[in-house]
Structure 1
Amino acid sequence: MASKIFTGNMPELMEKILNNLNHEFYSLYSCALVCRHWCKMSIPILWQDPFSYSYNEKRSLFISNYFSSLKEDEKFVLKNCNIYVGFSKTLFDYAIFLKVLDLYCLEHMIKLWLDFQLGLGFPFLKKSKAVYRMINLLFKLFIKSGATLYKLDLSSFECIQIKPEIFYSLQRNEKFFSQLQDLSLRDLSKFSIESAVNLLMILAKNARKISSLYLEIYTKYDPQVFQALISIIKSQEQLRLFRINSGDGEDVIEEYNGIISALTSQKQSLQEIILEYCEYSVEFEVLMNCENLEILRIDNSDYILLNISGSKINTLEVTDQIIKTSPIVSFLEKSGTLLQRLKLICSEISEEESHLLKALISKFLCPNLTYLYMCVGTFSENLELISKLQKLQYFTLWFEDNISEEEVKKFAEVLPLTLQYLDLIHTPQLNSYLDIWLNNCHAPLKKILIKSFDETRAKALIEFCMRKRTLNYVGVSKYSDLNDNIKKEMEKYVKVVPFKSILVDY
């Protein structure tokens, strides 16, 4: 089979393997150097999302590859930006491979590229104009190349004027937005009203397969912008995730100008709602008609919104400065038995947290939880709650106060025998007492996430591996700081990885 992969006789299998390396820049680059066949398959994946790779001047040089096929009138744009560099012919038309376009990342990379080409001392105003021209030039190149986007994020550092020729190209090349699945529309006031409305109406017409839509809305938006946003919502065939941020805590709006009401058109497909800084409006009552809504996330928003989510919610996430007990308990009394995933985060300590934990314990409101993320309550209250959750498989605990050695032992003993995943990165005391709780732990853990480990903790992890024979991964947040010799010894028993590669966050 290996020989067939190398000679290109199994392209579908090879494509699946390489797609799993989508965010592994260096691995994909190495694959591209193996042979001509691997190169042809790796390059399109490498160039799907080039602007999101780490920012530095040297990394930004890839932008030059887009300019090898410029026509004379397009090269004139570069000359107007004081760029007179010649660009070598490339083996591929890289622009056609683009699948992800984040305007914020694009703008930042262009600035780095211009710094490299023009020097840091180039006048600020001239550089700003050059950035604007370059964004329009690249946008036009991507559209005309025949690229089809999967993800588009319209956000920007500065106000941007999109040239009329871009809208003309978009109207002639409907394919560019035709496969769009993930759309984020952030602060549209950075665009002129005319540019914003034109772009949104083209999206409403050409992008009908969006499954995830994120909107930031502000009171300063023109009514035409609101109308165009409504058109986008109504034109979708199957919108599954809708996220809205109404002001990010500043200038919170109370009227949604029909945007929430437009979700009626998606009542059969909508599965997840994320509300950030949202005040209650009667418009939200349309969510009660969403037949398949299962996931509700409320971030610093009106708790009344818990009451209009229907009764099929299996995932609830609440983030606030101070968690309010009564509305959450009321919701859980109605839907708690259906709930499988619960995430509670607060940034300020209050008595409300204890009231909530006591209610969860005494009323046993969520007996079927398989995923729990807790950043509320005292350690002893969390222990009592965990001891009751006999179906729990994934547990993240965020607790930064002191914990006694006796409490550490009890923590290990009450972990349910169904638990497979434990994240303790933000619980420093349990990181410090790693050897104690591991020696007393009976849960068949497959993944453990911690800050770091030294020789003593590594020994405890190895002993746990040998005793339980279930642990597959140890995720470490300070992975780059690990001692190479200790890590090498650990990897005889368990795979040690950066924590993000195994992080579970429903």
Structure 2
Amino acid sequence: MACTKIFSGDLPEITYEIMRYFRDDFSTLYSCILVNRLWCRLAIPLLWEDPFSLKNPKNYHTRKVSNSIEKWVSTIFINNTTQNLDFIKFIHKLLIKIFDENEATLHTLYVTYKGSYRDTIVSELVLRSSNFICNVRNLYLKINKCNATDINPFLNFLSSNCNSISSLDFLFSRCYQKFEKKLCNIIDSQQNLKKISLNFNSFPLYHSLLSSKNPNFTNTLRTIIFYHINFENIVVANEIFKQLSVLESIHILYCYSLDSFQQITNLTDPFKLKSLFMAESFTESLQLLLQKSGDYLENFGLELLRQEQKILELIIKYYSKKIKFLNFCELEDQNIYKIFQLIEKVELSLNYLTIDTNCNVNLGSIVLQHLGQILPSKLEYLNLILIIKPNDFKTFLKNLQNTFIKKLLINNIEKEEQEDILSYIKEYIMKKKRSEYLALLECFTVQSYYTEVDLYSLKDEVKEFRLHNIIVQNYNDLDIETHKFIHEMY
């Protein structure tokens, strides 16, 4: 009888005394929260008695915490935006206070500034909690608003108080020049900066960002990533790279006006170009740049280019010993065989491959008919984005039987309603265990409506693959974004 009363909630005092024995068993306390309101009310104080004694995990993802707070507050103050924002701000302050008092260290800070209330909260909390943020190691700063002058105190704080940043990632969608000096100050203040990534959305790069005279900067920087940078009207002078004495890798991702790199050919030291992803036409200066960079290239991609064949011939001739990542998008039909030639030549090192033929039906068929025969015996990642004809796809899978692909992604961008490729995947991939992770996205039109179906949403199919030790994932979750990949790998 007493046991029945405890579990029905009739004896809260006894229930609490029993629950106290679980104070160090966090997983049990989490389960108690889900039983009923009483158990939830009793378990939460125990969880929050000493949150920093929790041994695993030691790292907190504050974005998840913030989302939970906002959902919770929205259930309390319905249709009252002002109260919601005030209460959210109040809770954030209390959390930061807890972090501060317990000497927690902020390891990674992502700030996307759009001028919203959340941006204001972040700026205020950071400025009030200098001990919490001053030892931040990784800073990701994205600014989308031209007149974001209210972020200036935050930028000033970073340059004055945070000098231990090892990785900087700047992304500006507009008006980068308004913040140039403050960004330079942040860079100059660092004592152990190892990586810097610059993304200015096709806006010009200014010379000053790469011209720091800080010896800590020049003697520690190992990686530079240029992403969507326009090098027009700037000379990337030899002295900039000469002073970077320990630089190990340079990455150029979909940048413009690469002729500015022509002076690099006069450098006596190697130009360690590890990544080159191109979206502009081939030039003689680019050829000189590639020749100068020697046998360093590891990641390469082409997208919508004229004179693709010249670039591919150059890569095949000089830069194929270490290539492990290839990405091709919207290519011309006549160049696909050069790509096949490159894939065959880098077979020993190739680990990641993406081919996007867009809506080119003929090119998609050529890829499916020939690719399976030339792939290496093992791939970490293969992503095919094309219009799939079932017979061609069956041929591809048959030819793939000597290859194991850890992560296989298929995006059928224009499926005919009666066509079925899933049965082929089950026959040649699932039953023969040729993959560990699988993503399949199929797009088709029904009565003028464009529809996407992700295999991940079909729960019975997901369970069937799981029985064969293949994990089906959401296509977009498994898809590799080039910039993110390079940033994580280097």
TM-score (norm 2): 0.67
Question: Whose strand proportion is higher, 1 or 2?
Answer: 2
Shift of 1:449: 1.1
Write out per-residue CA displacement over residues 286-344 of structure 1, whole angstroms, 9 at most, x where no aligned residue: 23433323141333433135554973535213253x44454443333223522222233
Shift of 1:474: 3.5
Is the Cα contact below 8 Å between 2:299 and 2:323 reproduced in 1?
yes
Residue among 465, 470, 483 paired with 1:495: 470
Query: How do 1:317-356 and structure 2 match up within 5 A?
Result: 317-320=276-279, 322-324=280-282, 326-344=284-302, 346=303, 349-356=304-311
* One-letter amino acid matched to 1:480: Y
Cα distance in 2 for partners of 1:157, 1:108 equals 17
The aligned residue for residue 155 of structure 2 is 200
Cα distance in 2 for partners of 1:41, 1:336 equals 58
SS in 1 for 2:192: coil
Cα distance in 2 for partners of 1:447, 1:164 equals 42
Cα distance in 1 for partners of 2:422, 2:323 equals 33
Is the Cα contact below 8 Å between 1:336 and 1:366 reproduced in 2?
no
Aligned length: 407
Identity of aligned pairs, percent? 17
SS in 1 for 2:385: coil
Matched, 1:456 2:424: yes
Cα distance in 1 for partners of 2:133, 2:168 equals 14
Is the Cα contact below 8 Å between 1:100 and 1:150 reproduced in 2?
no
Cα distance in 2 for partners of 1:386, 1:328 equals 22
* One-letter amino acid matched to 2:298: Q
Residue among 397, 418, 430 paired with 1:438: 397
The aligned residue for residue 185 of structure 1 is 141
Is the Cα contact below 8 Å between 1:341 and 1:371 reproduced in 2?
yes
The aligned residue for residue 438 of structure 2 is 474
Is the Cα contact below 8 Å between 1:219 and 1:253 reproduced in 2?
no
Shift of 1:233: 1.7
Classify 1:441/1:111 alpha carbon distance in 2 versus 1 (closer, same or farther; 3 Å).
Answer: closer
The aligned residue for residue 387 of structure 1 is 344
Is the Cα contact below 8 Å between 1:260 and 1:284 reproduced in 2?
no
* One-letter amino acid matched to 2:210: I
Query: How do 1:144-163 and structure 2 match up within 5 A?
Result: 144=101, 146-159=103-116, 161=120
Cα distance in 1 for partners of 2:144, 2:365 equals 53
SS in 2 for 1:259: helix
Classify 1:183/1:99 alpha carbon distance in 2 versus 1 (closer, same or farther; 3 Å).
Answer: farther
Classify 1:454/1:119 alpha carbon distance in 2 versus 1 (closer, same or farther; 3 Å).
Answer: same
Matched, 1:373 2:327: yes
The aligned residue for residue 51 of structure 1 is none
Is the Cα contact below 8 Å between 1:211 and 1:241 reproduced in 2?
yes
Query: How do 1:229-378 and structure 2 match up within 5 A?
Result: 229-246=183-200, 248-249=201-202, 252-253=203-204, 255=206, 258-262=208-212, 265-280=216-231, 281-282=234-235, 285=238, 286-290=240-244, 291-304=246-259, 306-307=261-262, 308=264, 311-313=270-272, 315-320=274-279, 322-324=280-282, 326-344=284-302, 346=303, 349-361=304-316, 363-375=317-329, 377=331, 378=333
Q: Tell me which moved more, 490-499 or 133-142.
A: 133-142
Cα distance in 1 for partners of 2:142, 2:463 equals 45
Q: Which runs of 5+ in 1 are unaligned?
A: 1-34, 44-64, 69-87
The aligned residue for residue 370 of structure 2 is 410
Shift of 1:442: 5.7
Is the Cα contact below 8 Å between 1:475 and 1:497 reproduced in 2?
yes
Shift of 1:495: 1.9
Classify 1:131/1:253 alpha carbon distance in 2 versus 1 (closer, same or farther; 3 Å).
Answer: farther
Cα distance in 1 for partners of 2:162, 2:408 equals 40
Shift of 1:369: 1.8
Shift of 1:151: 1.1
SS in 1 for 2:113: coil
Shift of 1:350: 4.5
The aligned residue for residue 385 of structure 2 is 426
Write out per-residue CA displacement over residues 122-147 of structure 1, whole angstroms, 9 at most, x where no aligned residue: 3x677667666666665555445533
Q: Tell me which moved more, 403-412 or 270-279.
A: 403-412
Is the Cα contact below 8 Å between 1:462 and 1:490 reproduced in 2?
yes
Shift of 1:458: 0.8
Write out per-residue CA displacement over residues 479-502 of structure 1, whole angstroms, 9 at most, x where no aligned residue: 423462x55554454423315776
SS in 2 for 1:186: strand
Shift of 1:406: 6.4
